[in-house]
Structures are given as structure tokens and as C-alpha cells.
């Protein structure tokens, strides 16, 4: 009897019961992404005050919507990788490589749909290779994927001798309008990207795969004991990253109908920053897809926003850093790490 009393008291002090009420439960389950959304709102507010002329009219938002789809395709799978307890620095080269295959297939006159499938398959195959290298050869993912990024990019440069590929044949084609057109004034890519985010969020939050990714990132020993194929799950996250990189490569190539040997290069740090700005912690086991997507929005906005606000490009890096640090401090205060 006294035992019950004791446990009830300590329990109440620990606040371990999830709160009642749908709204509070939602807020509690999505603390990180709600926090990220707050950061975004504050940032837009500051931009609006600093430059009402630019931020109260549409073009600035449209320009963000052009770069955002590519970022979303990279950030979302990266959340899986960080949650499983790894990191991937090779996705920019994977992105460039898959887009290269896409460009080569289109250039060779194949059906664009086949070129898309070829690019996605290439991305997944490269992800499988990188994942196997990290997991089976038991290398540090930080270093191994950094090496892969240099190696793949170097390979592209050697073969192409730094030359780009123009895909102007796609400009007025169906593929062009499906992958690079506009719907109701919005770039069509944003709809594809949002669909990708939605499927990934379902996979992460409501599917066996996401549950196992979190379990492996949380405690691989325990997950292994319970019969989860720890290595298979880890490799699968890299394959998924490859798929996202392939998609991102196709999107970025289709924006200007040109593939550059440097395709993907600029996305490395912004994509990684977006994951952490979004509220996914560095230690694995937990993560948020929605937060990562909002993080991508924030990071994309800093780049367009700072310049649009009338500051010179020199300020971009400073504000990038400022937002990242502020967001991390916010998440630190907002979430607790359990051991």
C-alpha cells in the first residue's frame, strides 16, 4: 500500500505520463518540430521588419520554393541516417553521380522515364556501396563517407574533364513540365518533394522500418538481441539516402536543363545543418522528419532572405551560423536526453 503511494508520488514528480488532450499530446510528441517552426516564424518576422517591401511580396517565397525541393530530398533521408547513429557526407557526390547517369541516358536518346529510374537506381546502388563500406568493413561513417565523396566527385571530374551536359531537348517535353513546370504558380517540384517528405514521415513514424531505425540508433545491442538485423537496417538508411540524392540530382538538373560536374557540391553543409536545426539530436535513436523539413526551409530562407533584405552576400554565412547556433540552443532547452 505504502509502496503504491511512494511510486505515485515519485512518478508525478517525474511527469512521465503523457499529457491528456489531443492538442497537448501532439505538442508533446512533436516538441522538436514545433520548436523549429517557432524559430522559422521568428526569423521570418525579423526579415519582414527588416525589409517589409521584399518579405511582404510573393517573389522571394517563390525563389525559395525553387531551391527547397532539392534540399528536402536530401535532408529527409539524412534524418534517418543520423537517427540510426551514422552520418553521410557522400550524398553530394552521389547526387552528382546519379544526375550524371540521368543526363547521359537522356543525351543518348533513351526514354526520360528510363533515365529517371536509372538515376534513382544509381543513387541506391551507391548508397548500398557506401553503407556496406561503413557497416560491413566497420569504418567510421564520418571518414569513410568523406572519402567516398571525394572519390566519386574525382571520378566524375576525371571522366567528364569538367564539362557540363545540356539537356535542352527536355525543355518542351512532358518530362520537362512534369519535373520542372509550374502548377497554379508554384514550381511543380515542390509538390513532388512534399510527397516524398510525407512518405518518409510515414516510414519514420508509422512503419516498422522507422521503429527499427530508432531502435538501432538508440541501443544496437538491445535491437540485435531482439532479432533486428542491425547491419541491414543501417545499410538500408544509406540506400534510402542514395534514393533521395538521386531524386535531388534529377530535380536540380531539371531546373536549368543542365548537368554540371559540380552538381550537388553546395548542398553538403546546408543539408546537414538543416537536420540539426530541425531538432534531430546528434546522438541517435530519435529524430524528426517534419522538423528536418522545416529546418531545410529555414536554411533555404537564410540564403535568399539575407540577400533579398538588402544585405550583401557576405552576411549569408554569418546569419547561417547564427541561426544554427540559436536553433541548437533552443533544442537543447526543449528536449531531454535519456540514458
Partner 1 sequence: MPERLIELSDVAKSYGRVFAVGGVNFHVDRGEVVGLLGDNGAGKSTLIKMLAGAIQPTSGQIFVRGVAQPHWSAARSRDAGIETVFQDRALCVQQTIVRNIFMGRELTNWLGVLDPGRERREAERLMREIGFTSKVFTPDSIVGQLSGGERQGVALARAIYNKADLIVMDEPTTALSLTETEKVFRFVRAVREGGRSVLFIGHNIHHVFDIAERFVVMDRGRVALQATKDEVGSAERLIAFMEKLAHPHGIASFDPNSAGATS
* 330 lies in the site for partner 1, by CB under 8 A: no
Nearer to partner 1 among residue 6 and residue 191 (C-beta): 6
Strand partners, 54: none
Residue 187, phi then psi, degrees to nearest 5? -60, 135
Stretch that binds partner 1, among 155-163, 188-196, 222-230, 324-332 (CB under 8 A): 222-230
| Degrees to nearest 5, angle at CA 300 with 297 and 304 | 130
DSSP string, 271-298: HHHHHHHTT--TTSS---HHHHHHHHHH
Nearer to partner 1 among residue 92 and residue 292 (C-beta): 292
Nearest distance from residue 117's CB to partner 1, in Å? 22
Of 46, 54, 218, 257, the one binding partner 1 by CB under 8 A: 218
* 296 lies in the site for partner 1, by CB under 8 A: no
# binding residues, partner 1 (CB under 8 A): 35
Cα maximum dimension of the chain: 79
Query: Binding to partner 1 (CB under 8 A): which residues in 6-25?
Result: 6-8, 10-12, 14-18
Which of 319, 322, 296, 321 minimizes the C-alpha distance to 307?
319
* 225 lies in the site for partner 1, by CB under 8 A: yes
Of 113, 136, 159, 202, the one binding partner 1 by CB under 8 A: 202
Residue 312, phi then psi, degrees to nearest 5? -75, 160
* 3 lies in the site for partner 1, by CB under 8 A: yes
Indicate the helix (H) or strand (E) that contains 186: strand 186-187
DSSP string, 170-190: GTTSHHHHHHH-EETTEEHHH
Residues that bind partner 1 (CB under 8 A): 3, 6-8, 10-12, 14-18, 202, 206-209, 211-212, 214-215, 218-219, 221-223, 225-228, 285-286, 337-339
Amino acid at each position: 500500500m505504502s509502496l503504491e503511494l511512494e511510486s505515485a508520488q515519485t512518478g508525478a514528480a517525474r511527469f512521465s505520463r503523457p499529457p491528456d488532450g489531443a492538442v497537448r499530446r501532439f505538442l508533446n510528441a512533436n516538441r522538436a518540430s514545433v520548436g523549429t517552426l517557432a524559430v522559422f516564424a521568428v526569423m521570418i518576422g525579423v526579415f519582414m521588419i527588416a525589409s517589409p517591401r521584399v518579405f511582404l511580396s510573393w517573389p522571394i517565397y517563390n525563389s525559395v520554393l525553387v531551391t527547397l525541393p532539392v534540399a528536402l530530398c536530401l535532408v529527409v533521408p539524412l534524418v534517418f541516417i543520423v537517427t540510426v547513429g551514422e552520418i553521410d557526407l557522400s550524398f553530394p557526390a552521389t547526387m552528382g553521380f546519379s544526375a550524371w547517369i540521368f543526363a547521359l541516358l537522356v543525351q543518348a536518346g533513351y526514354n526520360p522515364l528510363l533515365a529517371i529510374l536509372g538515376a534513382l537506381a544509381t543513387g541506391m546502388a551507391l548508397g548500398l556501396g557506401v553503407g556496406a563500406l561503413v557497416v560491413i568493413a566497420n569504418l567510421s561513417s564520418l571518414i569513410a563517407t568523406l572519402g567516398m565523396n571525394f572519390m566519386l566527385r574525382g571520378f566524375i571530374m576525371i571522366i567528364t574533364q569538367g564539362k557540363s551536359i545540356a539537356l535542352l531537348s527536355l525543355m518542351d517535353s512532358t518530362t520537362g513540365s512534369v519535373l520542372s513546370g509550374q502548377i497554379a504558380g508554384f514550381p511543380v517540384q515542390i509538390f513532388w518533394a512534399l510527397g516524398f517528405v510525407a512518405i518518409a514521415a510515414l516510414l519514420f513514424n508509422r512503419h516498422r522500418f522507422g521503429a527499427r531505425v530508432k531502435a538501432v540508433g538508440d541501443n544496437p545491442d538491445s535491437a540485435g538481441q531482439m532479432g533486428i538485423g542491425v547491419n541491414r537496417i543501417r545499410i538500408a538508411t544509406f540506400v534510402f539516402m542514395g534514393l533521395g540524392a538521386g531524386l535531388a540530382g534529377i530535380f536540380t538538373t531539371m531546373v536549368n536543363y543542365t548537368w554540371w560536374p559540380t552538381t550537388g557540391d553546395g548542398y553538403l553543409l546546408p543539408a546537414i545543418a538543416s537536420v540539426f536545426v530541425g531538432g534531430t539530436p546528434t546522438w541517435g535513436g530519435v529524430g524528426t522528419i517534419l522538423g528536418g523539413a522545416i529546418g531545410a526551409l529555414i536554411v533555404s530562407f537564410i540564403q535568399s532572405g539575407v540577400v533579398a533584405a538588402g544585405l550583401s552576400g557576405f552576411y549569408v554565412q554569418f546569419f547561417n551560423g547564427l541561426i544554427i547556433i540559436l536553433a541548437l540552443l533552443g533544442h537543447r532547452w526543449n528536449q531531454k536526453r535519456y540514458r
